[in-house]
Amino acid sequence: MLRLDGGGEGGHLTELASGVDALYLSGRAQLPGWFVASLGEARERTGSGSRPQVVVLGTEAFTVGAAGMGRYRYRLDHEHGPIGVTESEAFPAFRIQPRSEFLHAVGPAAAVDWYRSVLGSVADPVVLTVSRIDLHSDWQGWSVDGDDRRRFLCRANRRDTYERAEEFSGFVFGQRKTKTVLCRIYDKTREVEQKGHDWWTDKWGDRFDADERVLRVEFEFGREGLKSLQVNRPEEALEAVGDLWRYASEDWLTYRDPSDDRTPSRWPVAAEWQDIQAASLRSEAVGLVRIREGSKRGSLRKLLPGLNGYLVGFAAHVETTTVEDTLAAAVPYLKQYELTSGQAFADRVEERKGAA
């Protein structure tokens, strides 16, 4: 079986990054009638086939989708992450899901402040609580494969092993539906390559060795798990990051070195896991500009193979051979397509930007 291999063996791992990777919030508030009415009108216009409608919260523009957000009737989209809005008294008025890129760009505390300011422009007061927080640490220097599952001791009974094309890709311990604690251990390098999240190399910085795989350890705390640990408000969650990591990596899940003892709980904690237990969780902010540049690099890297294939096919039909001649030859065809389709190329670009 192939292994997720970062290179070295033993307890001298290289920590590339660690901190908060997801922070989902709920906001309780009394919604003003004018705000709900404006959302209903915008959603109706969007659903009738017109262009996505824009609503302004404070100084920030959000687009209103034709569909909702789970049980929330309205979905407001922004590059920093969506907000769900509901009139139902059965749920908090707001459901907030900052994008990982935003959290890593400005830091989780600043992200919370941004959402609190935006929501405060339409409802006051807004009481924020945490419904989920994910803590991560990224490492090089650790090897693990599916055969190592017996070395993990976990309070959860459920554990799943994942493979892709017979190559081991990771573990999941626990179940999300319990809303308590879940752990994922997986090949972060593979995910970056597949999703085009090339900004992670900026996050990892000079510590990153491009010739080695990155292994991520990620603990997800759901609403019930946070309540049991007496964590409710976002400020409490961010202050408790170290304690949450300590609980998850020392009490809830450990990785052991097998010994002659028949009781696995008496096996010594592996040196690699001791490094993971000591993760710094420093959540360094990278900056929005660097995050956007990294995201653009990843998106273009994924687009280029397909773009090249289409242009080669086009060149074969119009009998051009160079990139320059092929692009020039494409212009009149694209102009004609604007006329027959009834939509300008520039409008399509703006729509795609809005959906990104």
Lowest mean pLDDT among 63-77, 186-200, 337-351: 337-351
Q: Looking at residue 11, what is its pLDDT?
A: 56
- The residue among 289, 344, 299, 353 whose CA lies nearest residue 77 is 353
Region 153-164 average pLDDT: 92
| Greater pLDDT, 119 or 146 | 119
- pLDDT of 289 > 50? The answer is no
- Of 186 and 284, more confident: 186
Give me the helices (H) in the chain, please. Answer: 33-47, 100-106, 108-120, 188-195, 200-204, 223-228, 234-239, 241-246, 271-277, 288-318, 323-341, 345-355
Q: What percent of the chain has pLDDT over 70?
A: 88
231, pLDDT greater than 90: yes
The pLDDT of residue 20: 94
> Does 306 have pLDDT greater than 90?
no
Does 89 score more than 80 pLDDT?
A: yes
pLDDT: which is higher, 301 or 54: 54
pTM listed for this prediction: 0.78
Mean pLDDT of 95-123: 95
Element (H, E) at 30: none
pLDDT of 293 above 60: no
The upper half-sphere exposure of residue 31, i.e. CA atoms within 13 Å in the direction of its Cβ, equals: 21
More confident residue, 239 or 312: 239
User: Would you say residue 302 has pLDDT above 70?
Assistant: no
User: Is residue 235's pLDDT more than 80?
Assistant: yes
